[in-house]
Amino acid sequence: MRGLGIINIASIYGVRSIRFEKRLDMVVTLQDWHEVPEIDRIGLEQDYYEILQIKVPHVIIPVRQGRNLANLVEVAALDQKLKGMGQNSAVEFNERLLKAIGNQGN
């Protein structure tokens, strides 16, 4: 474990805390706010991270002091779950926005 060294999870948390196999649904990268070159504020494009020749959805979350990282990661995970169920909030928002702009011209 980074910063702590080698630890024995089974000894600390019990054998029930270990999984021999688990599906990976998303990779989250926490990156300093100032180091993120361009922030996609809408989220129309999906990035992927390749692990063992498998593409996994990848989210970069810009972080800075005072932000609740647990909530940010939880919302990213829930949004990815919705996308997996066929509901993409960013695409739906973009469609409503384009429709509203189109209606303004009439």
Tens-binned pLDDT, residue by residue, of the chain (106 aa): 567 788 888 899 999 888 888 888 999 999 898 888 777 777 788 899 999 999 999 998 888 888 889 999 999 999 999 999 999 988 999 899 999 998 886 6
> 51 is in which domain, residue-wise?
22-87
For residue 3, being part of any structural domain is answered with: no
For residue 2, being part of any structural domain is answered with: no
Q: How many structural domains compose the chain? A: 1
Residue 27: predicted pLDDT: 94
- Report CA-CA distances (Å) from 63 to 28, 35, 44, 68, 101: 12, 10, 20, 9, 33
CATH number at residue 32: 3.40.50.300
Spatial separation of the C-alpha atoms in residues 98 and 106, rounded to whole Å = 13
Q: Is 35 left (phi over 0), alpha (psi -120 to 50) or beta?
A: alpha
Amino acid in position 61: I
For residue 105, being part of any structural domain is answered with: no
For residue 57, being part of any structural domain is answered with: yes
CB contact at 8 A, 31 and 59: no
For residue 101, being part of any structural domain is answered with: no
Spatial separation of the C-alpha atoms in residues 15 and 87, rounded to whole Å = 37
For residue 7, being part of any structural domain is answered with: no
For residue 17, being part of any structural domain is answered with: no
State pTM to two decimals. Answer: 0.70
For residue 63, being part of any structural domain is answered with: yes
